[in-house]
Chain A
Amino acid sequence: METYTYVNIFETKGLEYLLLICFLVLFIFFVRYLNAADKPS
């Protein structure tokens, strides 16, 4: 039974933090891309 073995509920935290960093970097680019439209073309 799984209750008698060790379960690490934080197994995926490393991946999640990597995703977070990707998000922040991409978000900067994304917002820059979007706001470029503010300058009248």
Chain B
Amino acid sequence: MAEASTGVSGGRLRFILSEMKPRGRWLTPFNVISIPVIIVGLVILWFRFTQGLGSVTNLSQAFPWGFWIGFDVVTGVAFAGGAYVITFVVYVMKEEKYRPIVRVTVLNGFLAYLFYAGALVLDLGRPWHIVNPIIGNSFGYNSVLFLVAWHFLLYMIAEAIEFSPAVAEWLGARKARRLLHAMTLAAVIFGITLSMLHQSGLGALFLLAKAKIHPLWYTEFIPILFFVSSIFAGLSMIIFEGTISEKVLKEYLGDKAGGHDNLVFGLAKGAAIAMFVYYFFKLLVFLHEGHWSELDTPWGWWFLVEVLGLVLLPCILYAFGARHRSLGIIKVAAVLTLIGIVVNRLNISVIAFNWQAPVHYIPSWQEIVVTLMIIFLEIWVFRWVVTRMPVYPGTNNRPAPAIDSD
């Protein structure tokens, strides 16, 4: 087709509208579960915004940050770390082997930031002031949170640029695609740098909570530990998510989403090495702090569960699975690793936070429903995008009005 510039805009609008329509079966198990959850979640949010955070959450003066921060934001961002790892491998190191999963990983990362970091807004007491640290009337640059907020914003822009060629292809905008494609490397390099800093920055937030976090978890190395663990958290999420979408999206993707076994072994190897290093980081911190007497307390046992059961064990499983080419073992390792990341992030932000408090915070059911709502919404958007835009290689989701293959 010739040119997509002038008379096409009307056609493009009609195309977008037609793409908005749902496709496929409606009564899938996922829809049946997610739709009620989303509705209940919206009702909860109505109470939250009219009657205050206290009406739906178990947050208290002693526990100002709960599940929405500890899980949605802190853990969600760690899970989204795969995007910067894969873009590093493919765009910077030019390891073409991983190109087939670049787009889906970047899309996942972008949506994770949009929804999970976006969940921060629900937790803010005065969210209408969220622009204050952005537009410049009150820059609190002395704050780690200022840095993290800015980095979230900038990284979302970088990831949007990284993903935008797919959108341009979907819309058949060739010129735009060429321009956006040219910006990719710059966006990638900028994005990796930002990721390093805000992944560790999320940990650096808790440096100020020295008086409150259990000594087994508090260390000046928290930022570095957060950064290193985001590498294997991201890789594990790619493996986990790939396994799921391979099954669920079969009707759209055929065999195209699968068949990446070799990629998975490579990812597993990378995760194994990152976890090996991380495990020794943990040992080093423990030796340096020297809280030997804390080990034989319930907190110490819990610490050992995290470090031995959810770091060392999956590390060994990854290595074993990569060596013996066993996808099953790698999947088990991925799930264990993800649980380990959840446990680690929640330990620092919620569980071992204010550990001496007489009454400890436990999330309310409303907090959990809202979290599920956010996850489901993200999956809805993800599903919409991958069934329409060229995210997976080789899938021809749609005939675009004016696209040239290039």
Contacts and interface: CB of A to CB of B under 8 A. Distances in A.
A37 B322 contact: yes
A15 B290 CA distance: 10
Nearest to B323: A37
A33 B287 contact: no
Contact of A33 (B265, B284, B290, B323): B323
Interface size class, chain B: 10 to 19
Interface string B320-331: 001111000000
B288 A27 contact: no
Contacts of B272: 30, 34
Interface string A26-41: 1100110110110001
Given A12-B288, A19-B284, A37 B276 contact: no
B299 to A, nearest CB: 21
A23 B280 contact: yes
7 contacts: A12-B287, A12-B288, A16-B287, A19-B287, A26-B276, A27-B276, A34-B273
B34 to A, nearest CB: 39
A30 B271 CA distance: 13
Given A16-B287, A23-B280, A31 B273 contact: yes
B197 to A, nearest CB: 26
Contact of A37 (B280, B284, B287, B325): B325
A19 B282 CA distance: 11
B319 interface: yes
Interface in B241-293: 265, 269, 272-273, 276, 280, 283-284, 287-288, 290
A33 B323 CA distance: 7
A35 to B, nearest CB: 8
A24 to B, nearest CB: 10
Contacts of B322: 34, 37
A30 B283 CA distance: 17
B298 to A, nearest CB: 25
A4 B324 CA distance: 58
Contact of B269 (A12, A16, A34): A34
A2 B280 CA distance: 31
Contacts of A26: 276
Interface in A1-33: 11-12, 15-16, 19-20, 23, 26-27, 30-31, 33
Nearest to B279: A23
B290 A12 contact: yes
